[in-house]
Amino acid sequence: MAKFVYRFSEGNKDLKDLLGGKGANLAEMNKIGLPVPPGFTITTEACRAYMRRGLVPPELRVEVTTAMRRMEDEMGRQLGNFHDPLLLSVRSGAKFSMPGMMDTVLNVGLNDASVQGLAEFSGDLRFAWDSYRRLIQMFGKTVLGIDGGLFAGALEEKKKEVRAESDVDLSADDLKDLVAEFKRIVRDQTGEDFPQHPRQQLDMAIEAVFDSWNTERARLYRRRERIPNDLGTAVNVQAMVFGNLGETSGTGVAFTRDPSTGHSGVYGDYLPNAQGEDVVAGIRNTLTLAELETLDAKSYDELMQAMRRLETHYRDLCDIEFTIERGKLWLLQTRVGKRTAGAAFRVATQLVDENLITMDEAISRVTGAQLSQLLFPQFDGQADRKLLTKAMGASPGAAVGEIVLDNAQALERSNAGANVILVRRETNPDDLQGMMVAAGVLTSRGGKTSHAAVVARGMGTTAVVGAEELDVEVAAQEVRVDGQVLRPGDVIALDGSTGEVFLGDVPVVDSPVMRYISAGLDAGLDGCETEAMRELVLAVDRILTHADRVRRMQVRANADTAEDGRRARERGAQGVGLCRTEHQFLGDRREYIEHLVLAEGEQAREAALAELLPLQRQDFVDLLEAMDGLPTTIRLIDPPLHEFLPDLTDLAVKVALARDKGEPAEREEKLLAAVHRMHEQNPMLGLRGVRLGLKVPGLFALQIRAIAEATVQLRQAGKDPRPEIMVPLVGSVRELQIVREEAEDILAEVGRAAGTVLDLPIGCMIELPRAALTAHRIAEEADFFSFGTNDLTQTTWGFSRDDVEGAFFADYLENGVLTISPFETLDADGVGALVVAGATGGRSTEPQLHLGVCGEHGGDPESIHFFHNAGLDYVSCSPFRVPIARLEAGRAAV
């Protein structure tokens, strides 16, 4: 029988699947002797069982009883006790952090009797009643589903009535009144009294936390963060410690290093006389840890020691939540901290310099997604800018957009195609929808660890927080700052690194990391305005250099033109993995295809092809020259020819109009007939790729001749062109064999005429399931394979790659058939199995067979790891993604 409850002493940090991140790390902290309030974790397995059965498994209740009794014994206190009650916090904690998305209930165990006990134990009547009213408020909202506004409204009423400025001005009697009022709200809204029995409160709270896994906002967050829907959350039940027991108490969050710059040295926020969520919610402005040191040096020292200990133990930047209860420090949570992309690189290299990790580990601490964030443009410091205010840069980036003040506005304007900046006093989890569509988030309150900051960082969305000069008046639909009034629709610009907020649009320039990637280290360092920037460029250089050193797979680029090729080369591409030659038939070259299609008889067709030859040859000369010395895979034409012809409807209208007017339209009519003739119901499954090459005599031959002649021309100019000829959409070895024979004849002929040997590799794409399954045969005729995972995904799933996104992907993501588009990240189980079959089959015939991938997946981090494990020799991706692929290929190898 599954074990549903783990005491902290039974777990460890590696049990995240079962105990969630929070539970696993609480157990780990307990293990290394840090002060953690006693408690236990209910497993994600229990949550899954609950979701399956629709009710709490009875075994769970029994295990909770046992764990509770042990905890009571350990603490020498009892739940609901009249004199010295044990109170509990009940908190969610999934495998992957979902900040603020799920529920938490604090002060569980308080009732009309134990509130007296709490007053007695604390010697503070006000505190006891405040805790009780917090319980009813939180329990009412999250467990009983009562509109939180009712409680907040009653609280405001009370404050007005007694002329209290803030919550802390309410007296014990005021709070006692509020408790009565809150209980009345509960009774009115649910028809039942607020549950007095502590165990009933606990059971209901546990169930509510389970349920909060499936709230809309949690599902939304998971979809965005690609967290599977079926994991479930763990529940942590822990003895309460109080940060709101007067001025010697407080609560805070801290990082072992600055999470936004990566500088070593602790960083955090502290709020005296406050409980749990007050800091994260950004409700009051916080103190720094340095200020804590002057308030309570002993607790501060203990905190420093604990943080050093954690960083040494985890060998990484950690963040923690802590509470000081009357001078005693407690750690409530730790995890390897979220950080900005820039901080990730700097922290990784700093840890290497401190001999805490190796370079191999350092490259595994950063991701391709983080690197791509650093490549985004930045605001131009030289441009004319009007500064509105400067606050805390909480999540870097340069965001420009229209002001929106709530979710509805954010969705409406972004659906209309506008870039939006969500401006709020503070954000809470209900603002998630707006944050997800916003280019940037700006708040007037809260620190670097506020909800807005944490969530924006996690999503890679630009954020500036704590802009105190900003007055956000949602009711009046106004944002006032520095004597100006801004309204929804006004454009502002946020710099998430410097915390600056500008009025109007601000132009952007390449980031220093981008300059480094495309023009080298000196160029990258040259453009750095700050020391921090220089450090970042140096860190990226060290990490990428190491990734290049350790990776097994090469990185090539998909480049159709010399210009693309050069750009890819600058970014470290080691060749071209796919030149789509059809792009050379677009624009004003379309007319040559029309000549070909309309050609009647062999002579006319040959003439049409002859027109194309010099153009194609020049294309290849340019590309091969740009890629001199590097392998350059040129794919023969792939799409159906009618893609190059005018649109059927346009043409039909033209012909009809001409007929009406009695004008001659012979050419259009012929073209229309051809388009009709070539029309296919399923062109993606039709006359394309090698099929087209076999059907239209001379078409492939023309391209092969152009490649051969370009090679000769460049060799004669003393260059080192290295073309590889690739045949698309092969399904049978015979198809490749026919093309190969023709190609070898042409290469021999052109070579002979030029007095050279053209021994160019000839290979094919593997982009049909049949090709993957018969790869052992196809390898008899191929010098290399390149997996075309776009078509392979399309044909394996039977999804049309052009239509599927709009058609039903949203439903499939919602109901969990897919967690991400298989066109973005390789479907490892299905399409991946075919890649493995193709690789294995091919190499069983030809052990040295060169293998690559040129579908979009070649630039996707997760897929790159798959290709590494499948034994491919290279990935090929868009020039922009080349550095990302270099890094990920390195990460895959360590």
Determine whether the annotation assigns residue 633 to a binding site: no
Between CA 834 and CA 796 the distance in angstroms is 9
Largest alpha-carbon pair distance within the chain?
A: 105
CB of 445 to Mg ion, least distance (A): 52
Tell which positions 625-644 bind ligand PEP, by CB under 6 A: 638
Residue 854 identity: C
Q: What is the C-alpha separation between 407 and 420, in angstroms, rounded? A: 11
Q: What is the 3-state secondary structure (H, E, C) of 550-562?
A: HCCCEEEEECCCH
Residues in contact with ligand PEP, counted by CB under 6 A, come to a total of 10
Cβ proximity to Mg ion: between 403 and 690 the closer is 690
Give the nearer residue to ligand PEP in terms of CB position, either 337 or 575: 575
Query: Is 635 flagged in the annotation as binding?
Result: yes
Q: How far is the CB of 785 from ligand PEP (least distance, A)?
A: 12
**By CB under 6 A, what part of segment 564-583 binds ligand PEP?**
578, 580
Q: How far is the CB of 866 from ligand PEP (least distance, A)?
A: 15
427 is in an annotated binding site: no
- Residue 112, classified by CB atoms within 10 Å of its CB into exposed (0-12), middle (13-18) or buried (19+), is exposed
Site string for Mg ion, 790-809 (x = CB under 5 A): -x------------------
Q: Is 825 annotated as a binding-site member?
A: no
Q: How many whole angstroms separate alpha carbon 873 and alpha carbon 851?
A: 5
Least distance (Å) from Mg ion to the CB of residue 792? 8
Alpha helices in 717-732 (DSSP H): none
Q: How far is the CB of 339 from Mg ion (least distance, A)?
A: 38
Whichever of 338 and 556 has its CB closer to ligand PEP, that residue is 556
Contacted entry of ligand PEP, Mg ion, none for residue 510, CB cut-off 5 to 8 Å set by kind: none
The encoded tokens of residue 394 equal 């909480």
Of 623 and 854, nearer to ligand PEP (C-beta) is 854
Nearest to 45 by CA among 94, 89, 9: 94
Region near ligand PEP per CB under 6 A, out of 508-516, 747-755, 785-793, 885-893: 785-793
Minimal distance, residue 804 CB to ligand PEP, in Å: 14
| β-strands 462-465, 500-503 pairing | unpaired
* Binders in 789-828 for ligand PEP, by CB under 6 A: 789-791
For residue 858, the minimal CB distance to Mg ion (Å) is: 12
Interface with Mg ion by CB under 5 A: which range of 74-82, 136-144, 553-561, 765-773? 765-773
Alpha-carbon distance values, 205 to 142, 144, 209 (Å):
8, 9, 6
> Residue 470: left if φ>0, alpha if ψ -120 to 50, beta else—which one?
beta
Segment near Mg ion (CB under 5 A); pick from 214-222, 336-344, 490-498, 763-771: 763-771
Select the binding partner of residue 854 from Mg ion, ligand PEP, none (C-beta < 5 to 8 A, by kind): ligand PEP
SS3 of residue 662 by DSSP: coil
Distance in Å, CB of 882 to ligand PEP, minimum: 16
| Cβ-based nearer residue to ligand PEP, 447 or 640 | 640
What's the alpha-carbon Rg for the chain, to the nearest Å?
Answer: 33
- 3 state DSSP class of 107: strand
Q: Which residue has the tokens 């800018």?
A: 385
Are 850 and 532 in contact by the 8 Å Cβ rule? The answer is no
Number of Cβ within a 10 Å radius of residue 246: 17
C-alpha to C-alpha distance for 508 and 380, rounded to whole angstroms: 5
Residue 791, marked binder: yes
Residue 788 is assigned to a ligand binding site: yes
Binding status of residue 767 toward Mg ion by CB under 5 A: yes
Contact between 858 and Mg ion (CB under 5 A)?
no
| The entry of Mg ion, ligand PEP, none that residue 855 binds, CB within 5 to 8 Å by partner kind | ligand PEP
Of the two residues 362 and 579, which places its CB atom closer to ligand PEP in the complex? 579
Kindly list the catalytic residues.
Answer: 451, 854
Helix (H) or strand (E) holding 877: strand 874-877
In the list 401, 512, 788, 879, the residue contacting ligand PEP (rule: CB under 6 A) is 788
252 φ, ψ (degrees, to nearest 5): -160, 175
Identify the CA nearest to 300 among candidates 313, 287, 312, 284.
287
**Which ranges of 627-732 does DSSP label H, i.e. alpha helix?**
648-661, 666-678, 690-695, 699-716
Kindly state the helix (H) or strand (E) to which residue 252 belongs, with its residue range: strand 250-257
Partner that binds at residue 580, options ligand PEP, Mg ion, none, CB closer than 5 to 8 Å by kind: ligand PEP
Judged by beta carbon, residue 130 or residue 560, the one nearer Mg ion is 560
* 103 φ/ψ angles, rounded to the nearest 5 degrees: -95, 160
Binding ligand PEP by CB under 6 A: which of 276, 401, 447, 855?
A: 855
Binding segment (CB under 5 A) for Mg ion, from list 103-111, 189-197, 587-595, 762-770: 762-770
Of 807, 829, 887, 821, nearest in space to 855 by CA: 821
Q: Side chain identity at 116, as an amino acid letter?
A: Q
677 is in an annotated binding site: no
Cβ neighbours around 477 below 10 Å, total: 13
Q: Per CB under 6 A, which of residues 719..778 are in contact with ligand PEP?
A: 767
Q: Does 854 bind ligand PEP (CB under 6 A)?
A: yes
Q: Which does 672 bind (CB under 5 to 8 A by kind): Mg ion, ligand PEP, none?
A: none
> Can you list the alpha helix ranges (DSSP code H) found in 315-391?
341-353, 359-364, 368-374
Residues binding Mg ion: number (CB under 5 A): 3
CA angle, 58 then 61 then 64, to 5°: 150
In three-state secondary structure terms, 480 is strand
Interaction between residue 510 and ligand PEP (CB under 6 A): no
Could you say which of 527, 788, 822, 838 contacts Mg ion (CB under 5 A)?
Answer: 788
Between the alpha carbon of residue 48 and those of residues 52, 60, 104, the distances in Å are 6, 12, 19
**Closest separation in Å from C-beta 801 to ligand PEP:** 8
Which does residue 890 touch among ligand PEP, Mg ion, none (CB within 5 to 8 A, set by kind)? Answer: none
Answer yes or no whether residue 890 interacts with ligand PEP by CB under 6 A.
no
Report the interface residues with ligand PEP, using CB under 6 A: 578, 580, 638, 767, 788-791, 854-855
* Residue ranges at the known binding site for Mg(2+): 767, 791
Report the interface residues with Mg ion, using CB under 5 A: 767, 788, 791
* Residue ranges at the known binding site: 580, 635, 767, 788-791
* Residue ranges at the known binding site for substrate: 580, 635, 767, 788-791
